[in-house]
Structure 1
Amino acid sequence: MDLLAGATQPQWLLAGAALLLATLAFLRLLLGSGGGKRAPPTIPAAPVVGGLLRFLSGPIPLIRAEYARLGPVFTVPILTRRITFLIGPEVSGHFFKGNEAEMSQQEVYRFNVPTFGPGVVFDVDYLVRQEQFRFFTEALKSTKLRSYVDMMVAEAEEYFSKWGESGTVDLKYELEHLIILTASRCLLGREVREKLFDDVSALFHDLDNGMIPISVIFPYLPIPAHRKRDQARARLAEIFSTIIKSRKASGQSEEDMLQCFIDSKYKNGRSTTETEVTGLLIAALFAGQHTSSITSTWTGAYLLKFQQYFAEAVEEQKRVMKRHGDKIDHDILAEMDVLYRCIKEALRLHPPLIMLLRQSHIDFSVTTREGKEYDIPKGHIVATSPAFANRLPHIFKNPDSYDPDRFAPGREEDKAAGAFSYIAFGGGRHGCLGEPFAYLQIKAIWTHLLRNFEFELVSPFPESDWNAMVVGIKDKVMVNYKRRKLVDDN
């Protein structure tokens, strides 16, 4: 059917003009910026929308296919923007090391503003954001982490004390709930953990459900998920405002991240506002809760699938207990190298954040392993993918296999190819500030489980849920457990 049948001449001319403009825009996209002799290859894409449909249907399949066809550097046109992927340490150095004037986060991550709220992180200029990141750094320094570990251990002991002598549980469900309890105590504060946990947990659930793929492109689209997100954000602001006022009025002080943010001051002497404290807490919980629960579940699934590593982790616990008894603290967790490598390998295979993005403000060049040089023009969105780059076969032997020993002394595959070979936590100027917290949290949980339970995986080995913004785990992870007390042989 002719879509212009019955149209008047002015309507026909308007439609023709629109089609012409769309075609010109697409040609400009293909032939304009980045059209030099050393421009990265551009994937074939439909007029106007470019590679949007392929991108939304799954960035990892797109990256896998185009990496195999075009190599580690290629461009994906999406609407009026161009995303250039840099896959592998050889071509991603500038991505990680470029300063904010060269490679910025703010433009590409502004879709977080409705969730985090005004005046924090990606809603402020770079200098203010750097000061706010300093607040995070101070809240996660070693002296603070030591006090957080005590809370983590206490939460794990209390949570698993409610299990019976034996039974069957969904490990994914159990660890998700324990992580949010732990995060509430360490980050959001005693008041939330003891009195408001159910309310705050439900509100964070609504915030989480308001972060869907379309939110990246249209964060203010008036849809039900966004309305519930905005209502939850407003209610959280009220709750934390009340808690902050109460703490200030009473003069009480707590060992948690909330208190750190309340006490933080900018370089000009200004204290943080209640709105800023709430936004920073939301950002901290978003950054840590999902990633820790997902990684702790993958760690358990792999330990139960590959019993030799489970046995090695148990033997390590026996050795640690010979030195320290039942005690668990920050320094004792730091001794657990076997458990650390098991967690790190689970993260290599399943980094929760599958893409990292920057906005390029300068022209720069990259050179591949094969010696090909490409010029990346300013204005491009530049991306890399931990989910894909962490499985490159020229860096990791048998990259799809679970092998924690690849990080052991003498092998250290993540260091052999140089910087940015392992990017589960990002790297460079914007490496994840919460990495030490995450490892301590997961170690504390699995130390308790290894010492107190035997397990058997009874459901199929889990698969990744690629439909989520933070890539999680499909379905349940069912395990049989039996309580035991790990006692050293002597």
Structure 2
Amino acid sequence: MGERQLKEPPKLSGALPLAGHIFSFGKNPHAFMMRLRRQLGDVAEFRLFHQSMVLLTGTEASEAFYRAPDEVLDQGPAYKIMTPIFGKGVVFDAPIARKNQQLLMLMPALRDKPMRTYSDIIVDEVETLLDRWGDSGEIDLLEFTKELTIYTSSHCLLGAEFRYELNREFVRIYHDLEQGIQPIAYVFPDLPLPVFRRRDKARARLQQLVSQIMEKRARQAENRTNVFQMLIDASYEDGSKLTAHEITGMLIAAVFAGHHTSSGTTAWVLIELLRHPEHMRSVVAEIEERFGSDGAVDFESLRQLPKLENVIKEVLRLHPPLIILMRKVMQDFYVKDYVIKAGKFVCAAPSVTHRIPELFPDPDRFDPDRYSPERAEDRDLFGWQAFGGGRHKCSGNAFALFQIKAIFCVLLRRYEFELAGSPESYRDDYRKMVVEPGSPCLVRYRKRRRTGLNVAGEESASIRPEPAAGSFRIVVDRDLCKGHAHCMAEAPEIFLVDENGRLDVLEERPVPALIEKARAAEKYCPTRAIKILDDPEP
């Protein structure tokens, strides 16, 4: 049988001279990409100004995108827009090997042990903001979630200095950095625009503050577990330490990951629950069953809220904050029956793949039960891709889910809500680089009467461990493993994660008595890199 004939991707017609398809794309990127897939299929080419872009949707094309090595598909050239914000030589502007070392340095703060300390911080932040509300009123939900998630993210990931000592100044700095993410910066990041001048001034001021705090911490012996301290203590493979410039950029990257997407998702969770009262009742009942009216919100309890977690997953399917992820093709790239030439850009589009009926039946319907064990419509790791996938899947996905669940465990116990506008008036704003609900986003609140229900010690049937099975074996997808170490916390007899985040499977065929621990490791792996397979004895 002869070698299959490869072809170049089909091209969208109607490109304008110089501009390409930028006007149709810029008006509504999601609608543009949905039309593009309908017309040309899973692999489809279009043009933005002079640059050829190839859209990859569906599971097969998405898997090729997410699994490709950096030497073939490189993030760096696709995200030059972030260089003035993160800094020269930091993350996307760094050489591939150095970038990967930098990203690994962020992982310790997102592992199982530090995560267990964050719930108290998040709960305190929510309650502090709610103390300003009174018995009833009206708020702009998006403004509230932005304020809340910048406090929770900075406090958990950066430390108390940023949250308390530098609170107001840090919020102003972060705002100016965030406003620097403008579409024109993809092409002209250094234009002498006021918004870019404020961005650069904020970046310089933050580095000054970081240097001051580093000097202060060097004189103290206090033990801290946050990203900032871990970066201060970290070293590259050659033994060199990070500079204040590099630490500043990586702190910005960490907060952007923890805040920029979570604020919009948090707002959409409440909107969708108010649009669908049956799911609101179900989630409130689950929270009351787990915590009662005043039970402690902790790490372990937050993992045992399947109904709320499924609501968040469905919100992320319908409203993914990052609707397009890009890479530059460094070497000819092969996907399905196509070859994509070096020099072009390729894009994955979670918002489009999430609307494919073959993957998600009745895809426009809000249906959290898609993720029940019986249906498991997220079983395809390259179908449901709200956090990306493969080697560059968002490392903060566990923190994001954890943070949003903690917020709602406080919000929904303290207050009842209603939409101030008609349900259909709340829409995604696709004009923004990170998609979120359009403003204003008004909701009304009213203090909830205490139910007195307190059965936090009871265990829901949905989270009881499955009965023990026979022989089994462990399979790990090394391309997906990010070193979160949740598996080691659940089953230390089976898994070992070293200080560099490398996973060692101590027992690939554990004794049957360890099946429950192994299933917990599989369930709580944030990247779903672990699979348990039956291994019947011969």
Superposition TM-score, scaled by structure 1 size? 0.88
3-state DSSP of counterpart to 1:254: coil
Residues 172-211 of structure 1 mapped to structure 2, 5 A cutoff = 172-211=142-181
Q: Tell me which residue corresponds to 1:488.
A: 453
C-alpha deviations, 1:111-140, integer Å up to 9, x for none? 211011123101211111111111111121
Q: Does 1:169 align with 2:139?
A: yes
- Measure how far apart 1:104 and its partner are: 1.1
3-state DSSP of counterpart to 1:396: coil
C-alpha deviations, 1:199-251, integer Å up to 9, x for none? 11011111111111111121112211111110111111111111111111233
C-alpha deviations, 1:42-75, integer Å up to 9, x for none? 1121233322333333322221222121112111
Q: Distance in 2 between matches of 1:391 and 1:479?
A: 31
3-state DSSP of counterpart to 2:166: helix
Q: Distance in 1 between matches of 2:70 and 2:355?
A: 28
C-alpha deviations, 1:267-323, integer Å up to 9, x for none? 22222221111110111111221211100110001111111111111111122136x
3-state DSSP of counterpart to 2:36: helix
- Measure how far apart 1:184 and its partner are: 2.0
Of the three residues 355, 373, 380, the one matched with 1:409 is 373
CA contact (8 A) 2:157 2:228 kept: yes
Residues 78-117 of structure 1 mapped to structure 2, 5 A cutoff = 78-117=48-87
Q: Distance in 1 between matches of 2:297 and 2:199?
A: 38
- Measure how far apart 1:163 and its partner are: 2.1
Q: Tell me which residue corresponds to 1:437.
A: 399
Q: Distance in 2 between matches of 1:113 and 1:258?
A: 20
What is the aligned residue count? 447
C-alpha deviations, 1:172-200, integer Å up to 9, x for none? 22222111111121123211211211111
3-state DSSP of counterpart to 1:83: strand
Q: Where has structure 1 moved over 4 Å in runs of 4 or more?
A: none
Q: Does 1:329 align with 2:298?
A: yes
Q: Distance in 2 between matches of 1:250 and 1:93?
A: 47
Of the three residues 381, 388, 400, the one matched with 1:419 is 381
CA contact (8 A) 1:148 1:256 kept: no
Q: Does 1:454 align with 2:424?
A: no
CA contact (8 A) 2:291 2:297 kept: no
Q: Tell me which residue corresponds to 1:265.
A: 235
Which residue type is aligned with residue 413 of structure 1? Answer: E
Residues 228-247 of structure 1 mapped to structure 2, 5 A cutoff = 228-247=198-217
CA contact (8 A) 1:316 1:336 kept: yes
Q: Distance in 1 between matches of 2:289 and 2:127?
A: 21
3-state DSSP of counterpart to 2:116: helix
3-state DSSP of counterpart to 2:302: helix
Larger helix percent: 1
Identity %: 37
Which residue type is aligned with residue 236 of structure 1? Answer: L
Q: Which one has a bigger Cα radius of gyration?
A: 1
Q: Does 1:308 align with 2:254?
A: no
3-state DSSP of counterpart to 1:92: helix
Q: Distance in 2 between matches of 1:61 and 1:447?
A: 34
3-state DSSP of counterpart to 1:459: coil
Q: Tell me which residue corresponds to 2:331.
A: 362
Q: Does 1:283 align with 2:249?
A: no
Q: Distance in 2 between matches of 1:483 and 1:168?
A: 15
Q: Distance in 1 between matches of 2:207 and 2:141?
A: 32
C-alpha deviations, 1:332-362, integer Å up to 9, x for none? 1001111101111111111111100011223
CA contact (8 A) 1:184 1:197 kept: no
Superposed CA RMSD: 1.8
* Cα separation, partners in 2 of 1:276 and 1:37, compared to 1, 3 Å: closer
Q: Distance in 2 between matches of 1:179 and 1:154?
A: 12
CA contact (8 A) 2:415 2:445 kept: no
Of the three residues 174, 186, 197, the one matched with 1:227 is 197
- Measure how far apart 1:164 and its partner are: 1.1
